[in-house]
C-alpha cells in the first residue's frame, strides 16, 4: 500500500509530537514507514519525517556516503533545498555517515539567536537501536520525574550536545530514528545525565 500523504503523515506527526513533548518516550512509525515503497539509502522512518516537515521553505543537509543521491531524492520529493551544515534547518545524519560527521554536525549546526531561538536546527540522527535502557537519565520539561534512554552511539554526543545547548534558549533539537522505525526526540530543554559506572 502506498504512503498516504494526508493521513499517514498526520499519524506520524502525532507520534512525533508526543515524543517531542515527552522526551524519552519512544514512538514507533512502522505502520507508516512500511508503506514507503522506494529503494532508499535511509531508514523509512527518516523519509517519513522528511515528508512530514520538509517543503520549499526548508533547507537541509545530508551526512551520508550517498549524500548526493539522497539530497537529490529529498529535493525531488519535497522541494526542500540542500545547503551546508551551518545554514540548514534540518540536518540528517544517516546510518552510513562518516565517523566524524556527527561531531561536525553538532559543532556547526545553527543554534538560532536570542531574538529567534526557534531558528536553531533540528538534527535527525539514524542509529541502529533506540531504547529506554538506563544508560542515560533524562530530566526537564515533559518528564514527570526522570526518563531513560540509550542509542547505539558513543556517549560523546551527550557532551557535544551539552556544549551546543549550553546557552538556553539557543540550541538544537534532536530526533533519533532506528532500524525498527522507532523515534525518540530530545528538545533542547532536556538535561542528560550519564550513568556513572562504579
Partner 1 sequence: MNIEYNFAFFDEGSKREIRRATLKAIAIPGYQVPFASREMPIARGWGTGGLQLTLSLVGKEDSLKVIDQGSDESVNAVNIKKLIVLTTGIGVTDETAEATIIQSRHRIPETPLQEDQILVLQVPIPEPLRYYEPSEYETKKLHAEHEYSGAWLMLFEQIVNYGAMSTGADHPVMVHSRYVMAPSPIPRFDNPKLNQNNALILLGAGREKKVYAVPPYTKVASLDFEDYPFRVETFQDKCCRLCGAKDVFLDELLNDITGEASYQCNDTSYCLQRMNGKSKG
Query: Residue numbers of the site for partner 1 (CB under 8 A)?
Result: 5-7, 9-11, 13-14, 16-18, 20-22, 52-55, 57-58, 113-115, 117-118, 120, 122, 141-144, 168-169, 173, 187-189
**Nearer to partner 1 (CB atom), residue 108 or residue 117:** 117
**CA neighbor of 62 nearest in space, from 81, 48, 37:** 81
Q: How far is the CB of 96 from partner 1 (least distance, A)?
A: 26
Of residues 54 and 157, the one with the C-beta less far from partner 1: 54
In the complex, least distance from residue 57 CB atom to partner 1, rounded to whole angstroms: 7
Cβ 118 vs Cβ 138: under 8 Å? no
Contact 161, 121 (CB under 8 A): no
Residue with Cβ nearer partner 1 (90 or 157): 90
Residues shown for the chain: 198
Distance CA 58, CA 21 (A): 22
Which grid coordinates are listed for 24? Answer: 524519552
**For residues 5 and 68, which CB has a smaller minimum distance to partner 1 in the complex?**
5
- What are the φ/ψ torsions at residue 59 (nearest 5 degrees)? -115, 150
> Rounded to the nearest whole angstrom, what is the least distance from the CB of residue 156 to partner 1 in the complex?
22
Amino acid at each position: 500500500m502506498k504512503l498516504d500523504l494526508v493521513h499517514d503523515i498526520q499519524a506520524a506527526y502525532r507520534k512525533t509530537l508526543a515524543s517531542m513533548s515527552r522526551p524519552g518516550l519512544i514512538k514507533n512509525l512502522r505502520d507508516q514507514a512500511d508503506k514507503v515503497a522506494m529503494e532508499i539509502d535511509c531508514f523509512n522512518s527518516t523519509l517519513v519525517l522528511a515528508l512530514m516537515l520538509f517543503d520549499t521553505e526548508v533547507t537541509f543537509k545530508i551526512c551520508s556516503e550517498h549524500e548526493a543521491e539522497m539530497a537529490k531524492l529529498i529535493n525531488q520529493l519535497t522541494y526542500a533545498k540542500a545547503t551546508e551544515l551551518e545554514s540548514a534547518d534540518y540536518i540528517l545524519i544517516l546510518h552510513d555517515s562518516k565517523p566524524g560527521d556527527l561531531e561536525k554536525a553538532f559543532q556547526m549546526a545553527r543554534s538560532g539567536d536570542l531574538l529567534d531561538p526557534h531558528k536553531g536546527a533540528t538534527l535527525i540522527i539514524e542509529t541502529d537501536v533506540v531504547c529506554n535502557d538506563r544508560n542515560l537519565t533524562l530530566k526537564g520539561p515533559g518528564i514527570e520525574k526522570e526518563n531513560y534512554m540509550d542509542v547505539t552511539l558513543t556517549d560523546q554526543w551527550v557532551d557535544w550536545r551539552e556544549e551546543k545547548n549550553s546557552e538556553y534558549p539557543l540550541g538544537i533539537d534532536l530526533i533519533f530514528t532506528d532500524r525498527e522505525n522507532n523515534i525518540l526526540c530530545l528538545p533542547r530543554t532536556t538535561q542528560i545525565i550519564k550513568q556513572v559506572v562504579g
